[in-house]
Amino acid sequence: MKVFKVAGIFLFIILAGLVMMGYLNLQDRHPGYNADLKIIAKHPSGLKAGFAALKITPEVPDRWVDANGDAKYNEKDGDYYIDGNNNGKFDPVWIAGFSNNKPANGVHDDLWARTMILDDGETRLAIVVVDAIGFMHDDVVDVRKMIPVEWGLNYVLIASTHVHEGPDMMGIWGKHPLESGVDSDYMKFVKEQIVNSVETAVGQMVAARLEVSEDLTGASDQVKDTRQPEVFDSGLRFIKVVNKESDEALGSLLSWGNHPETLWSRNLLVSSDFPHFFREGVEKGVFSADSLVKEGIGGVAMYINGAVGGLMCTHPTHAISDPFTGQSISEPSFEKAVAQGNKLSLLALKAMEQPQETIEEAEISILVRTIELPINNNMFRLAASLGILNRGTTGWMKMRSELAVIQIGAISFIAVPGEIYPEIVNGGVEAPAGADFGIEPVEVPSLREGMPGKYKFVLGLANDEIGYIIPKSQWDVKPPFTYGRDKAPYGEENSLGPETAPVIHAELIQMLRELNTNDHLVVEEIN
């Protein structure tokens, strides 16, 4: 009997410990935080801009690289072999994306925190892009709290490129599903570097003009949609920011909608994938072998992703043709990512030569709304409770996130906190037979229809990474399945739930209406 009593006490202690751990893990990291903001600008005026690029490359122990610098991947059992250890401690940089247990074997190219500051004399906006799989809202708020008010920033938007070949910054890509892949020292370093990049960019500000250009069709052959309906966000949109005095490029914003995962699942070298070669091409020029084919514009190029859900990628079955050799490359490799980067750079440099709009004077309007989203996904609930997914909750199984709409003259941005399906952005939400709710499309009209200005940039994974944002009428986990499938489509397991898209769409439409009705009419500024 005594044994049972002791066992019972032990069990009680373990259970109490688990409950306590869950309680602590789910605690709100930023109680009372609210980013709500409404700045409706009234007077177009001369713009200032500044850029910065700071490295956030992790330190990767090189002892897991073999003699050729290649990953040790075994074809036969599909596993990685690690034959070294870090003084008896196996503590690698875990690569995020695809699957667990992917220790980095080296660094192919540096990862970055890149910042653009725009200022109309009254309002100062920072757009930061980080080479990360995702940078969650709690971390965004941590960074904002580190930025001194003296830097005069009204809003700091932090997006991630969604690269699938860099360190885990979210927690779900550790050695196994029950172990976080996040290194807290590295996260601290990334946050400090973001702050440093904002400070540097503020210090670089000079009078500037914006040159806007688009190529809405040129890159559409480089993306595959792996889930019906086939809707893309494959238009390329560019803002070249030029020093007004010297005519030199300060930097550029390169916007496209595609997963940076061309290198796919077996690469174990840290890299920012095709965005690296895209940025390099735009800055330094495009080279065929060693000869310069097209001159770059200089400055700091920033790649920012668009609507990548549902699922936009350069799949291993999707070939990229090398722009110089004409060779068709399907197999994931750096060669493929280089070819893609070169193609994108050539399109960008060509489009930028003849800007469709030059903005000398403009006003910056910003609307920001803090939202709460229900966590209906049981795996996300578990991951958050166990502290694997490192983010707090607000109330019972809800998480705080954020939406923003921004207008700068003829340019508008919407900031979406995850991977939105392109049909919500560009139109084409369907109500296929077999869908779980049997309802008409909810997320209509399309977001782009509601956006003001001529040039409409959709910024994905902005200020958060909440996973897939799936049209409710296409939600499909129960049989019968949509589009004649014999099993459930891929996607829902990486979404907070079926209410995510309706909430985000309705809020954004409402915010866009507010911006449109107030646009240049109402004299109002609320902080």
Q: Using CB under 5 A as the criterion, which residues of the chain lie in contact with Zn ion when the complex forms?
A: 419
CB of 135 to Zn ion, least distance (A): 13
Closest to Zn ion by CB, 349 or 469? 469
CA distance 103 to 105: 6
| Residue 233, CA distances (Å) to 220, 309, 425, 451, 481 in order | 9, 10, 8, 15, 25
Closest to Zn ion by CB, 161 or 193? 161
Closest to Zn ion by CB, 322 or 419? 419
CB of 197 to Zn ion, least distance (A): 24
Measured in degrees and rounded to the nearest 5, phi and psi for residue 481 equal -100, 160
Pull the structure tokens for residue 341: 């980067």
Q: How many CA atoms lie within 13 A of 236 on its CB side?
A: 27
Evaluate whether 132 touches 166 at the Cβ level (below 8 Å).
yes
CA distance 326 to 415: 37
Phi/psi class of residue 273: alpha, beta or left (left: φ > 0; alpha: ψ in -120 to 50)? left
Closest to Zn ion by CB, 98 or 287? 98
Interhelix angle for 378-385 vs 2-26, to 10°? 100
Residue nearest to Zn ion as judged by C-beta position: 419
Closest to Zn ion by CB, 90 or 490? 490
Closest to Zn ion by CB, 167 or 453? 167
CA distance 454 to 462: 21
Q: Dihedral through CA 337, CA 342, CA 344, CA 346, nearest 10?
A: 180
CB proximity list for 300: less than 8 A, separation 6 or greater? 51, 52, 53, 114, 116, 250, 251, 252, 283
- Of 21, 28, 143, 140, whose CA–CA distance to 395 is shortest? 28
CA distance 494 to 186: 25
Closest to Zn ion by CB, 164 or 279? 164
CB of 419 to Zn ion, least distance (A): 5
Closest to Zn ion by CB, 132 or 411? 132
CB of 162 to Zn ion, least distance (A): 6
| Buried b or exposed e, range 188-219, using 16+ CB within 10 angstroms | ebbbebbbebbbbbbebbeebbbbbbbbeebb
- Of 403, 518, 511, 410, whose CA–CA distance to 459 is shortest? 403
Closest to Zn ion by CB, 419 or 436? 419
CB of 134 to Zn ion, least distance (A): 8
- Please count the helices (runs of H) and the strands (runs of E) in the chain: 9, 28
CB of 125 to Zn ion, least distance (A): 26
Closest to Zn ion by CB, 252 or 495? 495
CB of 335 to Zn ion, least distance (A): 23
Measured in degrees and rounded to the nearest 5, phi and psi for residue 235 equal -70, 140
Pull the structure tokens for residue 73: 């991947």
CB of 474 to Zn ion, least distance (A): 17
CB of 312 to Zn ion, least distance (A): 9
Closest to Zn ion by CB, 170 or 348? 170
CA distance 109 to 272: 7
What does 424-449 look like in DSSP terms, one character per residue? HHHS-----TT-SS-----S-S-HHH
